[in-house]
Amino acid sequence: MPVLLLTNDDGVHASGLQALAEALAELGEAHVLAPEREQSACGHALTLHRPLRVARLGERRFAVNGTPSDCVNLGVLGFLPERPVLVVAGVNHGSNLGDDVTYSGTVSAAMEGTLLGVPSIAVSLAEGGDFAGAARVARQVAARVLVEGLPRKTLLNVNVPAGTPRGIRVTRLGHRVYSEKIVEQSDPRGRTHYWIGAGEATWEDLEGTDMGALHEGYVSVTPLHLDLTDHRALARLADWPARLVPRPRGPARARPPRE
């Protein structure tokens, strides 16, 4: 049986991860290695300045005092009996769509797997959805990936709608309209504090996007590529080095005397 690595950012006790482990047990030897507590919106953080400890909770179930990316690092680089053939992160409680994927611990776990050369999938479920159903979708996608593999540096970001899915759509990331403002308030002692990310999200044109698919009741599968280089901008910036090189310093010029 191939070794699979399962993780999440909602913590090792989350029901989405439990459902995922049950669904993927048919595909391989599913090992759960997940943060001991919730790490949502932790992004791609790694723990480099303190030791990581792993607590065994079951035969193939472990809690780590770190982030989702830490868990993937451990799992891929030697903690498991074999190198996993697939990393699956989720099922996250709440969707991970569009520009927001950069904050997501779930998507970052799949990024980490991809960077380490293991095909990786992130799976998230819209608020109010059914984890068992989403885990079945995850199994279908995972089975396909096990057969076909994924292009180099590419992961799949899967989002499942709350109701029974009408089908699957392959999508691009949607883009947020950043019209929110910060919320400034005073506490009872008269000190000022701030809230960010507190407004309603609005999105640009939904056609073809992950957000659009979910909105219409479809499962969204978005391939994400981890070469963040903007290859078109490379050409546009080609003459920058010549313009940015600091002029060699000559002897200090005497300032003209003030009048």
Interacting residues toward Mn ion by CB under 5 A: 9-10, 40, 92
Query: Between residues 67 and 220, which has the closer beta carbon with respect to Mn ion?
Result: 67
**C-beta closer to Mn ion: residue 28 or 125:** 125
Q: Is there a contact between 108 and 71 (Cβ–Cβ < 8 Å)?
A: no
Shortest distance (Å) from residue 113 CB to Mn ion: 17
Q: Which is nearer to Mn ion, 28 or 66 (CB)?
A: 66
Amino acid type, 257: P
CB of 238 to Mn ion, least distance (A): 41
Q: Is the bond leading into 123 cis (omega within 30 degrees of zero)? A: no
In one letter, which amino acid is 103?
A: Y
The least CB distance from residue 106 to Mn ion, in Å, is 6
With 0-12 / 13-18 / 19 or more C-beta atoms within 10 angstroms meaning exposed / middle / buried, residue 127 is exposed
Question: How many Å apart are CA 64 and CA 80, to the nearest integer?
Answer: 13
φ/ψ (deg, to 5) at 71: -60, -45
Query: Which residue shows structure tokens 């059914």?
Result: 130
Asked if 12 contacts 34 with a C-beta cutoff of 8 angstroms, the reply is yes
**Closer of 10 and 112 to Mn ion (Cβ):** 10
Q: In whole angstroms, how close is the CB of 193 to Mn ion at the nearest point?
A: 24
Of residues 21 and 28, the one with the C-beta less far from Mn ion: 21
Measured from the CB atom, the residue of 68 and 119 that comes closer to Mn ion is 68
The distance of closest approach from Cβ of residue 16 to Mn ion in the complex, given in angstroms and rounded to an integer, is: 8
Output the smallest distance, CB 41 to Mn ion, in A.
Answer: 7
Residue of minimal CB distance from Mn ion? Answer: 40
